[in-house]
């Protein structure tokens, strides 16, 4: 069984640019979650999608947005990039509405120059 896959592995941008991160969940999983992990810190919840709908959102500005496609894959878009957006962005998936454990990808390392 293929795990959660994220692309790209690394992404380098400059301030003010836009970044798109992609996530493919485990086959059969309908929920996708996005987290931000700044260096040496814990996970900050960004977004939760299930069956194509946004179920919950963390305390992030509107320039962080995303969507879930009919095949349950997901995109995270970050507009007007700022230096403090540099972090590891983790995607996770789970079956249903999240009472089961989440399975994580290895993340996209976003660096803002």
Partner 1 sequence: AQSVAQPEDQVNVAEGNPLTVKCTYSVSGNPYLFWYVQYPNRGLQFLLKYITGDNLVKGSYGFEAEFNKSQTSFHLKKPSALVSDSALYFCAVRDDSSASKIIFGSGTRLSIRP
Residue 56, interface with partner 1 (CB under 8 A)? Answer: yes
8 Å CB contact between 97 and 55: yes
How many Å separate Cα 103 from the centre of its chain? Answer: 13
Q: At its nearest, how many Å lie between partner 1 and the CB of residue 80?
A: 25
8 Å CB contact between 87 and 78: no
Q: Considering the complex, state which of residue 85 and residue 105 has its C-beta at the smaller distance from partner 1.
A: 105
Q: At its nearest, how many Å lie between partner 1 and the CB of residue 16?
A: 28
Residue 59 tokens, joined: 């305390």
Handedness of CA 100, 33, 61, 109 (dihedral sign): positive
Site for partner 1, residues 2 to 31, rule: CB under 8 A: 4
Residue 49, interface with partner 1 (CB under 8 A)? Answer: no
Binding to partner 1 by CB under 8 A, coded x per residue (else -) over 91-110, reads -x----xxx-xxxxxxx---
Residue 90, interface with partner 1 (CB under 8 A)? Answer: yes
Q: Considering the complex, state which of residue 16 and residue 61 has its C-beta at the smaller distance from partner 1.
A: 61
Strands of 64-68's sheet in order across:
5-7, 19-24, 74-78, 64-68
Would you mind telling me the total number of residues written for the chain in this entry?
Answer: 113
**Chain contacts with partner 1 (rule: CB under 8 A):** 4, 33, 35, 41-43, 45, 48, 55-56, 58, 90, 92, 97-99, 101-107
């Amino acid at each position: 069984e293929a795990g959660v896959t994220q692309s790209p592995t690394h992404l380098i941008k400059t301030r003010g640019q836009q970044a798109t991160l992609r996530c493919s969940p485990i086959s059969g999983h309908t929920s996708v979650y996005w987290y931000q992990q700044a260096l040496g810190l814990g996970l900050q919840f960004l977004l939760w999608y299930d069956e194509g709908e946004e179920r919950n959102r963390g305390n992030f500005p509107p320039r962080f947005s995303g969507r879930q496609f009919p095949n349950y894959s997901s995109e995270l878009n970050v507009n007007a990039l700022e230096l403090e957006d540099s972090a590891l962005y983790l995607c996770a998936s789970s079956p249903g509405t999240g009472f089961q454990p989440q399975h994580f990808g290895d993340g996209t390392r976003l660096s803002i120059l």
